[in-house]
C-alpha cells in the first residue's frame, strides 16, 4: 500500500489509510464503503488483516457493519445512537428525543477559553448560538454552542433553523464533518437571567453544567458546547464503563 501514514503494523496502516479516505470524503456519511474483499486487494493485505482495521473503526463508532448489506460510514440519528451524545433522561429512566428550538444566533470572536477548546487561534471568528431543549413539553436544558467559522463556511441562522434532523447530522450532511467522539466535564452552575426565564426557574437556581468538546477524525475539535440542565426532574447518565452483554 501507499503508506500514507507510518504505523507500526499493517492493520494500523490500513486503518490510517481508511481514516485518510474518510477525511478526504472519498466515502461520505451514510454511504457504504467497498467490500472487504475489494479493500483487502486495494491495500494488499489479507481479509483477516483488513477486518482487524475495520474492527477498530467500528469500535471507534466511525463505521457500522450490517451483515449481508455492507459496511457504512456512521450516520447520526438514523443509527439510533443518538443517546450516545444526548445523555439527559427523566429521573425514572424514561428516554425521549428532545424538542429543540433556536433562541439566538450570531457571529463573534472566540473568547480565549473557547478558542483554546476549539483549537483555533485566539480571536478566531466563530458562530455562537443558543438552543433550548424540551423534554415531555418542559424546557430542561439550554445549550450554548460555538463552532469555528473556518470549518462551517456560510453557516446561517436560516439553515440551522431549517435543518431536518439533529445538529450532528446537519454538520455531516451540510459540511461533511463527522462527529465521532466527545469529551465532557461536569460541575454545578447557577441560572443567569436569560436561563432563568427560559427554564422558568428563579435567578440563581443551581443547574448542572456540562462542558463538551465534540471531535471529528484524528481528535480534531469541531464544536464547543456549554449546557445548563435543570435536574429537578431529569438527570445526566454517565459512562457505563463496561460493555458486557446480558445473557
Q: Does residue 59 sit in helix, strand or coil?
A: helix
Examine residue 11 and tell whether it contacts DNA (CB under 7 A). Answer: yes
Rounded Cα distance between 17 and 1, Å, is 9
Q: How many residues bind its own copies (CB under 8 A)?
A: 42
Quick one: which H or E segment has residue 142? Answer: strand 138-148
List the x/- string, 76-105, binding to its own copies by CB under 8 A: --------xx-x---x--------------
List the single partner that 182 binds among DNA, its own copies, none, CB under 5 to 8 Å by kind: its own copies
- Asked if 188 and 209 touch (Cβ cutoff 8 Å), the reply is yes
The Cα 31–Cα 29 span in angstroms is 6
Residue closer to DNA, measured from CB, 66 or 187: 66
Residues 6-35 that bind its own copies (CB under 8 A): 16
207's contact among DNA, its own copies, none, with CB below 5 to 8 A by partner kind, is: its own copies
C-alpha torsion 159→74→183→155, nearest 10: -20
Judged by CB under 7 A, which of 2, 6, 24, 66 binds DNA? 66
Looking at 141, 210, 224, 226, which residue binds its own copies (CB under 8 A)? Answer: 210
- The phi-psi region of residue 219 (left if phi > 0; otherwise alpha if psi is between -120 and 50; otherwise beta) is left
Report the alpha-carbon distance of residue 40 to residue 11 in Å, rounded: 11
Query: Candidates 109-117, 162-170, 191-199, 238-246 — which segment interacts with its own copies by CB under 8 A?
Result: 238-246
48 binds DNA (CB under 7 A): yes
Taking CB under 7 A as the rule, does residue 104 contact DNA?
no
Amino acid at each position: 500500500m501507499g503508506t500514507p501514514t507510518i504505523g507500526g503494523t499493517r492493520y494500523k496502516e490500513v486503518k490510517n489509510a481508511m481514516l485518510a479516505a474518510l477525511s478526504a470524503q472519498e466515502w461520505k456519511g451514510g454511504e457504504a464503503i467497498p467490500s472487504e474483499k475489494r479493500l483487502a486487494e486495494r491495500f494488499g493485505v489479507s481479509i483477516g488483516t483488513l477486518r482487524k482495521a475495520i474492527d477498530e473503526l467500528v469500535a471507534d463508532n466511525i463505521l457500522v457493519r450490517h451483515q449481508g448489506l455492507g459496511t457504512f460510514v456512521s450516520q447520526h440519528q438514523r443509527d439510533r445512537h443518538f443517546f450516545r451524545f444526548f445523555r439527559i433522561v427523566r429521573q425514572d429512566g424514561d428516554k425521549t428525543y428532545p424538542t429543540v428550538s433556536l433562541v439566538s444566533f450570531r457571529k463573534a470572536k472566540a473568547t480565549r477559553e473557547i478558542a483554546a477548546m476549539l483549537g483555533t487561534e485566539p480571536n478566531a471568528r466563530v458562530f455562537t448560538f443558543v438552543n433550548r431543549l424540551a423534554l415531555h413539553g418542559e424546557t430542561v436544558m439550554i445549550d450554548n454552542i460555538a463552532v469555528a467559522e473556518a470549518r462551517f463556511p456560510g453557516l446561517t441562522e436560516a439553515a440551522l433553523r431549517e435543518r431536518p434532523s439533529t445538529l450532528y447530522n446537519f454538520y455531516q450532511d451540510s459540511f461533511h464533518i463527522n462527529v465521532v467522539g466527545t469529551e465532557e466535564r461536569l460541575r454545578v452552575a447557577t441560572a443567569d437571567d436569560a436561563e432563568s426565564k427560559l427554564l422558568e426557574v428563579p435567578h440563581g437556581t443551581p443547574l448542572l453544567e456540562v462542558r463538551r468538546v465534540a471531535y471529528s477524525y484524528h481528535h480534531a475539535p469541531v464544536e464547543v458546547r456549554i449546557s445548563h440542565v435543570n435536574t429537578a426532574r431529569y438527570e445526566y447518565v454517565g459512562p457505563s464503563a463496561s460493555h458486557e452483554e446480558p445473557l
